[in-house]
Chains A and B, each alone.
Chain A
Amino acid sequence: NAGVTQTPKFQVLKTGQSMTLQCAQDMNHNSMYWYRQDPGMGLRLIYYSASEGTTDKGEVPNGYNVSRLNKREFSLRLESAAPSQTSVYFCASRGVLRGNQPQHFGDGTRLSIL
């Protein structure tokens, strides 16, 4: 099925370890996004990429880095994981640079940091 694919689905890390979350979309979308969702909260934007070759900070970027590898792939890296980064991470993509189009989400990566 076409859509947004995230890997891995689950991961447990120790404090201080590094980790890269992968995201790929096959809908030829221009924009891609990384969110985190914590209990009792909505999704919060970490980083986004409006088009290939560009990335920008969102609401909660501290402790993360991103790479827009090509039009299909957008990865999120935790250089030194902290317990506060325990969360569910969602990647999303959207088709047009401007205009009203919805974002389409992957099924998430559940990350626990001990």
Chain B
Amino acid sequence: DQQVKQNSPSLSVQEGRISILNCDYTNSMFDYFLWYKKYPAEGPTFLISISSIKDKNEDGRFTVFLNKSAKHLSLHIVPSQPGDSAVYFCAASAESSGDKLTFGTGTRLAVRP
């Protein structure tokens, strides 16, 4: 039972355009959501997060949107840059379960120059 799903294994976007990465979850107890970025041969790097009390969080070119009723979140990158090419993981946690993270399977983003 996969509680966090990233249904798009890959995404290709032109440099300067918007990248939209999507994530769905099934566990209604999740109250904290994160996006991690991962380059080959490196560990995941924290990118941005959002608490369930908010529906949007912005940090520079990165914005995360949370739709609790649809159990859906998305990461917007504007404008996309070639250095953004990486695998992006969505993750979620619930305070009731000790803040352990449950990860999605990742989306590989390729930004074309």
Contact = CB atoms under 8 A, between A and B. Distances in A.
Q: How large is the interface on A (under 10, 10 to 19, 20 to 34, 35 or more residues)?
A: 20 to 34
Contacts, number: 55
B43 interface: yes
B59 interface: no
Contacts of B100: 33, 45, 48, 58
Interface string A15-52: 00000000000000001010100001111110010100
B42 A98 contact: no
Interface residues of B, number: 24
Nearest to B34: A102
25 contacts: A4-B43, A33-B101, A35-B103, A40-B105, A41-B105, A42-B105, A42-B106, A43-B44, A43-B101, A43-B103, A44-B103, A45-B100, A45-B101, A48-B100, A56-B98, A90-B43, A92-B43, A98-B95, A98-B99, A103-B46, A104-B46, A107-B42, A108-B41, A108-B42, A108-B43
